[in-house]
Amino acid sequence: MQLKKKTVIFDLDGVICFTDKFHYQAWKALADRLGIYFDEVINNRLRGVSRMASLDIILEQSDKEYTQEEKNAFAAEKNDTYRELLKNMNPADLTDEVRDTLVELRSRGYKLTIGSSSKNTKFILEQIGLGDFFDAIADGTDITHSKPDPEVFLISAQKIGVAPGDCVVVEDAKSGIQAAKAAGMTALALLGDAKDCGLEDYNLTTFSDLLNILP
Ligand code: BG6
Ligand code: MG
């Protein structure tokens, strides 16, 4: 398959870099402190989902009712742990494959943007040396509705003035594939629960497979 599109919108966590393990560790620390069962299978359901919606999924395992105030404090606690872990990230956490593919796509004339639910997007991009790289960033600080709502991808396209139909989205989350389709964009699945979810337009075998379908 070859696509005639102008813009590639990348999800961040699980696509550009692998923060999944840090999300897991930070949620696990909170769940353990609260005596709530949490494992990698539940963690997989948090892909692409906002911080508060992720917390609600974790609290499904508890029979206690928590107030909104308590939930806000739990989310803040998780984020503090997560940010501490992110401080250890550096440009070596960006793989050569991802870096080289991004540089080659840019030299082929594509606009490259980010569409992520994470409010830590800019911090993570700085850590891995991509702080100034993308043509636009739409993230958790821009949106009121998280994936599978299309908002973050529509804002990302709007920021560079490109029509949704001219955009390709790269996602590792099924919720992200749903969001891309709802935005009227082409959805490329890369690993995670996006792969073979049945809604994707194409499954990428690896990140650099982008170079085969984007001429
Ligand atoms: C997404 C992750 O990119 O961002 C989710 O896949 C995460 O797991 C969400 O919950 C929100 O992230 P943050 O950094 O704002 O807590
Ligand atoms: Mg992701």
Dist CA 147 CA 104 (whole Å)? 28
Ligand 1 close to Cβ of residue 176 (< 6 A):
no
| pTM, full prediction | 0.94
| Ligand 1 touching residue 49 (CB < 6 A) | yes
Cα(51) to centroid(ligand 1), Å: 6
Q: How far apart are CA 169 and CA 177, in angstroms?
A: 8
Query: Residue 5: is its pLDDT beyond 90?
Result: no
Q: What is the mean pLDDT of residues 160-185?
A: 97
Residue 48 has pLDDT above 90, yes or no: no
> Residue 173 C-alpha to ligand 1 middle, in angstroms?
11
| Predicted confidence (pLDDT) at residue 210 exceeds the cutoff of 90 | yes
Ligand 1 contact via 48 beta carbon (within 6 Å): yes
Determine the atom of ligand 1 nearest the C-alpha atom of 172. Answer: 6
pLDDT given at position 157: 98
Q: Based on the residue annotation, tell me whether 13 is a catalytic residue of this protein.
A: yes
Q: Which ligand is nearest to the CA of 152?
A: 1
State residue 11's pLDDT score. 97
Q: Which residues pair with 137 in a beta bridge?
A: 114
Counting ligands in written order, which one lies closest to the CA of residue 194? Answer: 2
Q: Is the CB of 117 under 6 A from ligand 1?
A: yes
Q: What are phi and psi of 9, to 5 degrees?
A: -105, 125
pLDDT at 23: 95
**Ligand 1: does its nearest atom lie under 6 Å from the Cβ of 121?**
no
Cross-strand partners of 114: 10, 137
Centroid of ligand 2 to alpha carbon of 73 (angstroms): 24
Q: What is the mean pLDDT of the chain?
A: 95
148 Cβ contact partners less than 8 Å away, ≥ 6 residues apart:
48, 175, 176, 178, 179, 182
What is the percent of the chain where pLDDT is above 70? 100
Residue type, 54: S
pLDDT in tens, 100-143: 999 999 999 999 999 999 999 999 999 999 999 999 999 999 99
User: Is residue 207 within 8 Å of 45, Cβ to Cβ?
Assistant: no
Helix (H) or strand (E) holding 15: none
| Under 8 Å between Cβ of 81 and 103 | no
Is 11 labeled as catalytic in the residue annotation?
yes
Residue 47 amino acid letter: R
From ligand 2's centre to the CA of 190, what distance in Å?
A: 9
Q: Which of 23, 81, 171 to mutate to test the pocket of ligand 1 (most atoms within 8 A of CB)?
A: 23
- The pLDDT value recorded for residue 92 is 96
